[in-house]
Amino acid sequence: MKFGDKLIALRKKKGMSQEDLAEKLNVSRQSVSKWESNNTYPETDKIIQICAIFDCSMDDLINDKITDIDKIDRSSKKKENQLNIVFDSLLSFITKTVNMFANMKFTNILKCLIELFIIASMLFLLGAIVINTIPLIFANFFEALPKLHHIVYNIFWSISSLIWIIISIIIIIHIFKIRYLDYFDLQDEKDIDNSKEINPHNSEEISNKNFSTNRQPKIIIRDSNHEPFAFLSVLSNFVLMICRFIAFWFVLLGIGILFALSVTLVVLLPLSIYAELFTGINLALFGLIGFTVIIIYFLVVFCFNKKPNLKYSLIAASILFCTTVIGTGLSVLSIKEYTYISENNYLTKATYTKTITYEDKLFLDFPTTKYVIDDTMPADKITISTDYDKAYHTISLTKKNYYNMPNIELHYHASFVDLKVLYNEFINNLKNDTIKIYGNNTYQDITVTASSETINKLLDNLGHIYLYSKDSTENGYHVEIADSKVELTSYNCDVDYDIYNDSITKNDFCACERTLRQTPYGEKIYYSCDYNSES
């Protein structure tokens, strides 16, 4: 079966007219008619496009020994045919590029290269912004986890770099094609359309055609469709595959956000009857839920390569946008009517009190402390007390040892909150136009009561460990720790440090250097110990 007969059979099997095929190939209907009548053959790039349209190989089209198109095994050859089309497209691009540069003047070649260099530079600068911005945005979601933050940043940086490189290659090659290759041809297309195509049965016409190809290349009207080369579609499909993979994970993220917003709306919806503030918040939440649904819809459509319904989506987005704006505005206006209190609010206030016994070198490791002098107390007794919210915390004292000096630390432990009590208190506050924040009263000033002799010992011991500020009060002192008194660094050797006596025990091969630096709170001691090769 000849080429023209196969073309007719393939076209009819596809349900296409000559006009349809001519439009896809960007040629005249007369050219298609001449091909089907076996009067002329199309050019190589047109044959490649025909193979892509009818999903067949070049051998299927031009090999006259293949007589039955219906018996061609597409399933076994599909991958091979696609690779052949891609490879032939790449070879066609290389051939046209070499022929074009071979027939161009040096100044035109230089102009072409400069133009492509400028385009590549612009893409590089734009890519530098995109590649460094997108990974940072995603990595910021994991800022609380430094290791995961670094891994996520590197993964998205690699993916963004790869995608941008492929996109840049596609853009540069396609611009090169429509700016130069589409203007260049070794054949005159007007002559082809005027029945001067190759007639395989006319040796004289073949001879004339061979002679005509020796003419100087002509500038022709560029292809109005500017279809990209087939091998570029492979890169494009690879980028789309990665983008769809990322979009899939965004769908999962969107579903999680949608669930969180929906739960929040259900929880806050009953509060609308108590305050206009929550009416606005709920309206805004409803709008955000709708936006999330639309975004998930577009991501799913993109993942499955479907056509979205833009009309109804835009109408819904407009309504949801107005709802979100109205809800946000109502919330902002309503919140001005409330009194906001955020400090020292106790849902259930309690006082923790503990009496301990003083021992040699003991210091109290509290950030801020009120020392109250009570000389009626025994010299070896110390009372520690502080206020706390027992609805949120329990308190305990822990005894530790720091550089051979005993110390006492106070710890806050989170406890289970009675949600019913918290909810009722919150509703009462709303009714009184008040918003209070509870549970933020940890690490309050701790009161230490002891005799003046004991307090002086505690402060003296504290001075061996920390630099601190001390302000006199009506019945004692207010002390706030500012910095550590000693900073010790040791490299390649073991060192034992007695912080109370400021002395070091070390091996003979260790060398230690002691320096002092003045700070607003007193002198700070620095020790630097390292292996001494001369010892």
**Per the structure block, which two tokens stand in for 10?**
């393939």
CATH code, 195: 1.10.260.40
Are 62 and 203 in a shared domain? yes
pLDDT in tens, 300-326: 988 887 778 888 888 998 999 999 999
431 and 362 within one domain? yes
Q: Which residue has the higher pLDDT, 215 or 56?
A: 56
475 and 496 in a common domain: no
pLDDT for residue 212 = 40
Of the listed ranges 166-175, 360-369, 473-482, the one predicted with least confidence: 166-175
Mean pLDDT of 137-156: 74
Token pair of 402, please? Answer: 């720091």
Cα–Cα distance, 514 to 525 (Å, whole number):
7
Query: Would residue 55 count as lying in a domain?
Result: yes
Beta-carbon count within 10 A of 122 CB: 12
How sure is the predictor about 242, in pLDDT bands with cuts at 50, 70 and 90?
confident
Instruction: Give the mean model confidence (pLDDT) for residues 253-261.
Output: 92
Q: Are residues 372 and 454 in the same domain?
A: yes
pLDDT of residue 160: 82
Q: Which residues contact 359 (CB under 8 A, 6 or more apart)?
A: 406
Average pLDDT, the chain: 79
Q: Where are the beta strands (DSSP E) in 390-501?
A: 393-402, 405-414, 434-436, 446-450, 466-472, 476-484, 486-491, 495-498
- Name the residue range of residue 503's domain: 486-531
Neighbours of 523 (CB within 10 A): 10
Q: What is the pLDDT of residue 13?
A: 79
- Quick: pLDDT tens for 328-348: 988 888 887 788 777 677 888
- 156 versus 356: the higher-pLDDT residue is 356
Q: How far apart are CA 445 and CA 478, in angstroms?
A: 9
From 210, 225, 250, the end of a domain falls on 210
In a domain, 360, yes or no: yes
Domain contains 153: no
DSSP 378: -
Residue in the block written with tokens 């609380």: 144
Q: What is the pLDDT of residues 371-417, one digit of tens each?
A: 999 999 998 999 999 998 888 888 999 999 887 899 999 988 888 77
Whether residue 179 lies inside any domain: the answer is no
Number of domains in the chain: 4
**Strands 446-450 and 368-373, how do they pair?**
parallel
**Within a domain: 110:** no
Model confidence band, residue 434 (pLDDT cutoffs 50, 70, 90): confident
Residue 494 sits in the same domain as residue 478:
no
Domain-located, residue 168: no
Q: How many angstroms separate the CA atoms of 443 and 112, rounded?
A: 70
Res. 476 pLDDT band, cuts 50 70 90: very high
- Looking at the fold, whether 427 and 510 belong to one and the same domain comes out as no
Place of tokens 């819809």: 297
Identify which has the larger pLDDT, 343 or 180. 180
Looking at residue 234, its pLDDT comes to: 63
For residues 457 and 468, membership in a common domain is answered with: yes
The residue among 524 and 184 whose pLDDT is bigger is 524
Same domain (yes/no): 519, 405: no
Question: What's the rounded mean pLDDT across residues 12-32?
Answer: 83
Closest CA to 92 of 183, 197, 185: 185
pLDDT band of 477, cuts 50, 70, 90: very high
Q: For 9-18, 64-73, 485-494, which range has the lowest pLDDT when averaged over its residues?
A: 64-73
Q: Which one-letter amino acid corresponds to residue 198?
A: I
Rounded CA-CA distance 182/93 in Å is: 11
Instruction: Say yes or no to pLDDT of 86 above 70.
Output: no
Q: What pLDDT was estimated at residue 441?
A: 64
Residues 192, 94 within the same domain: yes
Give dist(CA 221, CA 223) in Å, integer. 7
Query: Is 2 contained in some domain?
Result: yes
According to DSSP, the residues that pair with 369 across neighbouring strands are 446, 479
Report whether pLDDT(125) > 90.
Answer: no
Place of tokens 């110990």: 529
pLDDT exceeds cutoff 50 at 118: yes
Q: Is 144 exposed, middle or buried (0-12, 13-18, 19+ CB in 10 A)?
A: exposed
The CA distance from 130 to 510, in Å, is: 52
pLDDT tens digits for 209-232? 443 434 444 333 334 344 555 555
Q: What percent of the chain lies above the pLDDT cut of 90?
A: 25
Residues 443, 298 within the same domain: no
- Residue 49's Cα: distance from chain center in Å? 39
Domain membership flag for residue 460 = yes
Residue with tokens 């896809």: 24
- Measured between alpha carbons, how far is 512 from 530 in angstroms, rounded to an integer? 7
Together in a domain, 291 and 411: no
54 and 91, same domain (yes or no):
yes
Number of neighbours of residue 483 by Cβ within 10 angstroms: 13
Alpha carbon distances (Å) from 518 to 60, 489, 529:
90, 19, 21
* Residue where a domain stops, chosen among 210, 244, 261: 210
Least confident of 313-327, 479-493, 494-508: 494-508
Structure confidence at residue 418 (pLDDT): 77
End-of-domain residue from the set 316, 337, 358: 337
SS3 390: coil
Of 192, 221, 213, 211, the C-alpha closest to 103 is 213
Which pLDDT score, from 0 to 100, does residue 116 have? 83
